[in-house]
């Protein structure tokens, strides 16, 4: 888990190694590309990644705020990033006029990378999540049937799938002691008599 988290810090680590500055929290926005963050729509949040000047122009056209195309504060990515505090409320105002699904359709049709931010309920009901078999049901001996996330690892020749619920306390102790530690039945019984297990 540590390795995955460090890998996700690639941008922050690169900036630190180049500049020596420790990056601070920025919320959802990208530190060097603007706009590249989530925004409020009328009914939720939409992520927009307008990573170059051509996408910036298309975004302004799609949001019907074409006056920002020629605004000197936002003429290029460096200026948009520098003036992000002035730009964000203008984009939020425009995006607040429609629902997330509408914006995803409009922006997607314009070729602007975007997507909704789902609630947990939406994730649980998502067709792609279902197609990826990421939500499964397992039966626990005490809690009964439970829905839970499946393994994200997908291999064609060695499929990974959760097949049993979390064990009860001590449920697998004997098996672990025999298979991994190499104890025999007598050794396990000795540990049980001594109340070690």
Q: What backbone phi and psi angles, to 5 degrees, belong to 144?
A: 80, -155
Other CB atoms within 10 Å distance of the CB of residue 105: 13
Find out whether 54 and 62 touch, Cβ atoms under 8 Å.
Answer: no
| End-to-end CA, the chain | 30
Catalytic residue annotation: 30
List the Cα angle 194/196/197 in 5-degree steps.
115
Find out whether 51 and 36 touch, Cβ atoms under 8 Å.
Answer: yes
- Cα–Cα distance, 84 to 107 (Å, whole number): 20
- Cα–Cα distance, 122 to 115 (Å, whole number): 13
Find out whether 33 and 49 touch, Cβ atoms under 8 Å.
Answer: yes
3-state DSSP assignment of residue 103? helix
């Amino acid at each position: 888990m540590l390795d995955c988290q460090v890998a996700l810090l690639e941008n922050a680590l690169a900036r630190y190694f180049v500049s020596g500055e420790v990056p601070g929290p920025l919320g959802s926005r990208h530190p060097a590309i603007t706009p590249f963050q989530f925004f409020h729509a009328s009914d939720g949040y939409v992520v927009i990644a307008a990573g170059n000047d051509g996408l910036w122009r298309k975004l302004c056209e799609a949001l019907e705020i074409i006056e920002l195309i020629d605004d000197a504060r936002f003429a290029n990515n460096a200026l948009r990033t520098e003036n992000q505090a002035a730009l964000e409320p203008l984009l939020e105002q425009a995006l607040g006029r429609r629902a997330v699904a509408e914006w995803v359709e409009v922006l997607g049709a314009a070729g602007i990378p975007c997507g909704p931010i789902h609630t947990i309920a939406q994730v649980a009901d998502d067709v792609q999540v279902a197609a990826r078999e990421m939500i499964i049901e397992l039966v626990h001996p005490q809690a009964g049937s439970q829905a839970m996330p499946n393994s994200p690892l997908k291999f064609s020749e060695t499929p990974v799938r959760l097949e049993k619920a979390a064990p009860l306390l001590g449920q697998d102790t004997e098996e672990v002691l025999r298979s991994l530690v190499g104890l025999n039945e007598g050794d396990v019984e000795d540990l049980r008599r001594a109340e070690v297990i």
